[in-house]
Amino acid sequence: PQGSEKAKTFVHAFLKRSMPKMKDEAIQDMLTRKAVVLEHYPKKKTKQKRKKTKGFTAKQRRELRLFEIEPEQQRYAIFLPLHELWKQYIRDLCHGLKPDAQPHMIQSKLLKADLHGAIVTVTKSKCPSYVGITGIILQEFKHVFKIITKEDKLKVVPKLNNVFSLELDGFVSYIYGSKFLLRASERSAKKFKLKGTIDL
């Protein structure tokens, strides 16, 4: 038919224009096989490198005194509202701390909970001077708790070799500091073993 001849002429001309280096015999050979594969080289997209936002180094944080609490702010009464917020946070986390709640479940949630605002007491320690210290946790670091006492004194208590007790709505939990040497952000992702040797 006349239409097919026009189509063949168009395809031949198109191939000739698209592939000028190819000879007529090669084009004709491609047409007889009725399979035409046009080579296409897409433009490579240049990926823009994302600039990583660098935080402060430990030295810069110390120089800027980011984690230091000013002496005029070291008052127990200032942080009581923080403690009330913490209590509500734990109640919501443990679904109300009901009397029939399983202690095992509450303990596992407390292990991963944020302790800023909790009132803790040092119950056991290899250093007798730490025993009896009670106050609100203001800051938790990998190795220490910063605690404000009722006497408006800021105490830095190491976790290592100390046992802390924490009481809320009649539920008392004990924190073995030697097994707690983690930052708060790291604790939330850590899997704690249910059984193990516990010592100071």
Q: pLDDT of 106-116, one tens digit each?
A: 888 888 889 99
Residues whose CB falls within 8 Å of the CB of residue 95, separated by 6 or more in sequence, listed in order: 101
Q: Which of 1-10, 46-55, 87-96, 124-133 holds the top average pLDDT?
A: 124-133
For residue 123, with 0-12 CB atoms within 10 Å meaning exposed, 13-18 middle and 19 or more buried, which class applies?
A: middle
User: Which of these ranges, 98-107, 116-125, 135-144, has the smallest mean pLDDT?
Assistant: 98-107
Extents of the domains making up the chain = 74-189
> What is the pTM for the complete model shown?
0.66
The answer to whether residue 1 scores a pLDDT higher than 60 is no
Residue 6's pLDDT is 79
CATH number of 74-189: 2.30.30.210
Place of tokens 């596992």: 108
Kindly report the backbone phi and psi dihedral angles of residue 82, in degrees, each rounded to the nearest multiple of 5, phi listed first. -65, -40
Mean pLDDT of the chain: 82
The candidate with the shortest Cα–Cα distance to 114, out of 150, 135, 143, 83, is 83
The answer to whether residue 183 scores a pLDDT higher than 90 is no
The answer to whether residue 35 scores a pLDDT higher than 70 is no
Coil vs helix vs strand at 126:
coil
pLDDT, mean of residues 100-106: 77
Could you give the maximum distance between any two Cα atoms of the chain, in Å? 107
37-94 confidence digits (pLDDT tens) = 556 666 777 777 776 667 788 788 778 877 788 888 899 999 999 999 999 999 888 8
149-179 confidence digits (pLDDT tens) = 999 999 999 999 999 999 888 888 898 888 8
Taking the chain, what is the end-to-end CA distance rounded to the nearest angstrom?
97
The answer to whether residue 95 scores a pLDDT higher than 90 is no
